[in-house]
Amino acid sequence: MKTLYMSILAAAIASGSAAPALAADPATTGKAAESAPDNTGRNVRDRGPTLTSGDQSESKADLATTQKIRQAVMADKSLSMTAHNVKIITVDGVVTLRGPVKTDAERTNIASKATELAGSGKVQNYLEVARAK
């Protein structure tokens, strides 16, 4: 079965139509079959000068700052799992927060933890409140 699936996928990629082949997978049913994931908008947004986790500085001070903020976020059990998984990126002492959170309160909570640990004026808060579906 795996060989058949890989053959279909390879053929679809070669023809430039991978999405239809994946949608035709008989194991995909229900809502998953109705809507394929589409991160195109987010991928376009993240091109260019936007920091990603790969941009994390390797300096001891920046790593320590990121670690302290991550520990503070993880220790706060009032935050959702989504909020626990935000990106925390420190470069030259400046912390960038990115990713989805469930509420404005979580967004504010995480930003205040980062500001407390990194210092005033050293936090760029790009956390996004997820829209209710």
pLDDT for residue 65: 97
- Global pTM? 0.65
Q: What's the CA gap between 123 and 132, in Å, rounded?
A: 26
The three-class DSSP label of residue 70 is helix
Q: Where are the domains of the chain?
A: 2-37, 53-129
Q: DSSP secondary-structure letter at 55? A: G
The mean per-residue pLDDT over the stretch 123-130 comes to 93
Contact 108, 115 (CB under 8 A): no
Contact 91, 51 (CB under 8 A): yes
Domain range 53-129, CATH class: alpha beta
Q: In this predicted model, what pLDDT tens digit does every residue of 56-107 receive, in sequence order?
A: 889 999 999 999 999 999 999 999 999 999 999 999 999 999 999 999 999 9
pLDDT for residue 85: 95
Residue 31 in this model has a pLDDT that exceeds 70:
no
